Amino acid sequence: MSNFSKIRNSARLSIAPMMDWTDRHCRYFHRTFSKSILLYTEMVTSPALVQGNATYLLEFDKSENPLALQLGGSDPTELARAAVIGASLGYDEINLNVGCPSDRVQSGIFGAILMKTPEIVANCCKEMIDAVDIEVTVKCRIGVDQQDPNETLPKFLECISKVGVTRVIIHARKAILSGLSPKQNRNVPPLNYELVYKMKEQFPNLHISLNGGIQSLNQAQLHLENGIDGIMIGRAAYQKPGEVLLDVNRLIYNLPNRQVSEKEIVKQMIPYIENQYKNGNKVSKITRHMLGLFSGRPGAKVWRKVLSENAHSSGPEIVLQALSEVE
């Protein structure tokens, strides 16, 4: 199987890029659930990489692959240079953020505001596609502000398709750029899955992943069975990873792998936590991503309590202590 095909297969389920959440420790943790899931970095701006030389933001463990680098920016030349940096470091995909609605992102002229200028997005994508051998993808909304998504989304997809974009992740909710906070933009306006399905019918050669509001693997399965190519899960996978991800190999990738348990996931994390601790990282930087592991299970409360109160000033042994409390 070619690397291109492997990424397409992995994209059946991906975990959304989330600022301040999906750092390298979070991604390593999520990787323990499956070798197949496609993981994404937090958004990294092209100015930070090209002008600020902040390549430390791109550090990752090779076990995190398949891994996509999400870039934010609107300067084609600068994005191309940032994409080259990412590709040279071993990322499997470069993704352009055309979905974030925050004021800070808007002021930098990137994120969801770019839905208003599909030609700029297309130019950025073309420069990146020409610059790297790995796939360049786009994560977008169905529209912004007063746009009619039924009109603007197909035009947007047609525009980026013409320059060679063949895979896109669509957050099935319009972004309201003025008057709503990023948090509010996660809940209103309502999701429009039907429109994303229509786009798959209209652009059959475009690999489309659906993002927004998906809370379980069963929901993901249903969308995949109905013709969507991939599913991207965000906060649900972060806040209740055990509940959402434990059976991903069987349900999404049709693998015969034995389903692991939450306790096995913890034990798989111990060597990584010990190594990071030896290198000067606080245990809490890793365990903050693991607090929801036992969500909905007996012992979830004591697991969170032990780690929340002690991990910032303890060594790796605190994780085993918390696990013993669960047991």
Q: If 0-12 CB within 10 Å is exposed, 13-18 middle and 19+ buried, where does residue 44 land?
A: buried
Summarised one tens digit per residue, pLDDT across range 133-170 is 999 999 999 999 999 999 999 999 999 999 999 999 99
pLDDT recorded at residue 256: 80
| C-alpha distances out from residue 250 to 7, 196, 218, 253, Å | 18, 26, 12, 6
Residues 22-74 pLDDT 10s: 999 999 999 999 999 999 999 999 999 999 999 999 999 999 999 999 999 99
Using only the alpha carbons of the chain, give its radius of gyration: 20
- Please give the pLDDT value at position 189: 77
pLDDT cut 70: percent of the chain above it: 93
Q: Identity (one letter) of the amino acid at 107?
A: S
pLDDT at residue 180 is higher than 70: no
Residue 184, pLDDT score: 64
Per residue in 69-123, pLDDT tens?
A: 999 999 999 999 999 999 999 999 999 999 988 766 555 678 999 999 999 999 9
Per DSSP, 240 falls in state: S
pLDDT band at 257 (very low <50, low <70, confident <90, very high): low
Q: Which residues contact 69 (CB under 8 A, 6 or more apart)?
A: 40, 41, 44, 58, 83, 86, 91, 93, 94, 95
Residues 13, 16: Cα–Cα separation, whole Å? 10
Q: Which positions are annotated as active-site residues?
A: 100
The confidence band for 327, taking pLDDT boundaries of 50, 70 and 90, is confident
Who has greater pLDDT, 327 or 13? Answer: 13
Q: What per-residue confidence (pLDDT) applies to 319?
A: 97
| For residues 223-234, average pLDDT | 98
Q: Bridge-partner residues for 97, per DSSP?
A: 139
Return the structure tokens found at 149: 């998504």
